[in-house]
Amino acid sequence: MSPAELEKQTEKLEIDDDEQEIVEGQTADGAAPAAKKKKPKKKKKKAPLAPGNSLVIQGQVQHQAEPPTIPVARLFPEGIYPEGEIQNYKEDNMWRVTDEEKRYLERQEHDNYNEARKCAEIHRQVRKYAQKTIKPGMTMIEICDLIENGTRNLIEANGLSAGIGFPTGCSLNHVAAHYTPNAGDPTVLQYDDVMKIDFGTQINGRIIDCAFTMTFNPRYDPLKEAVKDATNTGIREAGIDARLCEIGAAIQETMESYEVELDGKTYQVKPIRNLNGHSIERYQIHAGKSVPIVDNGDQTKMEEGEYFAIETFGSTGNGYVVEDMECSHYMKDFHAPHVPLKLARSKQLLNTINKEFGTLAFCRRYLDRLGEQRYLMALKNLVDVGIVNPYPPLVDTKGKGCYTAQYEHTIVLKPTCKEVLTRGDDY
């Protein structure tokens, strides 16, 4: 709405407490007045603006605040959320588009799709603000707080029923994944850094997993373009009955067609062969099927109704990652057995994990936020007995010339077509 239209709208809201003025030469009872008199109009204050200059007219929010604080449910009062990008399946599955049975099955899943679309819309709005706000000089903790607070506000975080899908990854340079700062981490974002932002949202365990790479030095643009193109290739090749190895082969071919020049040296972009995309189920971020980014010979097929995170990682290093650095990510094993715990502190910590995270991934900052203290020994005990799994940072070759990038989208294989739930104007 333009400023002129807003002015007209607010003028209509003006209220005159004494609309009937006392007209010259006549009083309210018809008698002649002692002197002509007019009461001044009392104007009601203009409709206020929400934080960040969001327009509010008659209680209806028109725009998101900055920083994002307005629950996305208020932006869509009818409860219907934007559809993602629709892609048709390949020729042998084109019949699904018009098949009545498949169309009927798809209509039965509307509520589930709408729930996932809400999560995706929250991701788009939070990352839009993050992309224009994050700058060199910010600490990693400040960056994660910006993203996670925005997610909590927009999704109206409520324990296991709605909230953050997993800890915000902000892995730098040769670190490809699973880095988020622990309390006290002084790391500061630099102009020459390559940062992978990987965060998720969830409602009733329906997890949306989506990632992008941020750089400030344009010399890394070819690296980002290679990985973005590879991810889009994986999305294009994905579909019902598609073999995972064939998707990986297409991704690999795309990514390896790119080169990056850094400091006078040319590097071929390599897919990180031991990192994969994955299927997603409720409260289970890695649900059993892995989507390779190289041809690994896996003949497993994708199936109707499945949700997948299609993610690719490119590197100017070895194209292979190992675990290193201090661990921050943890997740309760989805199939964790019942293990008698001897330490009372371990039992207390497990109760907190069950209540707040269930089988969703968490990090040490989240435990700090809940007021947990002196929990490292108890956490180690839960790891040692197999109840909780640690996920340390995954790093390629440390040294000059090694940089990694990531792009990721969540898709759903609907009966008639595939939907890229997290697609946005940015990527």
The catalytic site residues sit at 198, 209, 278, 286, 311, 408
* Dihedral (CA of 113, 117, 119, 120) sign: positive
Task: Decide: helix, strand or coil at residue 404.
Answer: strand
338 is in an annotated binding site: no
Q: How many helices (H) and strands (E) does the chain have?
A: 10, 21
Nearest Cα to Cα of residue 396 among 285, 334, 314, 332: 314
241 is in an annotated binding site: no
Nearest Cα to Cα of residue 126 among 141, 157, 148: 148
Q: What is the per-residue DSSP string for 138-178?
A: -BHHHHHHHHHHHHHHHHT--GGGEEEEEEEEEEETTEEE-
85 is in an annotated binding site: no
Q: Supply the DSSP symbol for 33.
A: P
User: The tokens of 215 are what?
Assistant: 């750089």
**Cα–Cα distance, 232 to 251 (Å, whole number):** 9
**Cα–Cα distance, 367 to 130 (Å, whole number):** 24
* Dihedral (CA of 137, 140, 144, 147) sign: positive
* Dihedral (CA of 152, 313, 380, 325) sign: negative
198 is in an annotated binding site: yes
Q: How crowded is the C-beta side of 108, counted as CA atoms within 13 Å?
A: 8
278 is in an annotated binding site: yes
324 is in an annotated binding site: no
- Cβ–Cβ contacts within 10 Å for residue 311, how many? 27
66 is in an annotated binding site: no
- Detail the residues annotated as belonging to a binding site for a divalent metal cation: 198, 209, 278, 311, 408
- Detail the residues annotated as belonging to a binding site for substrate: 178, 286
- Detail the residues annotated as belonging to a binding site: 178, 198, 209, 278, 286, 311, 408
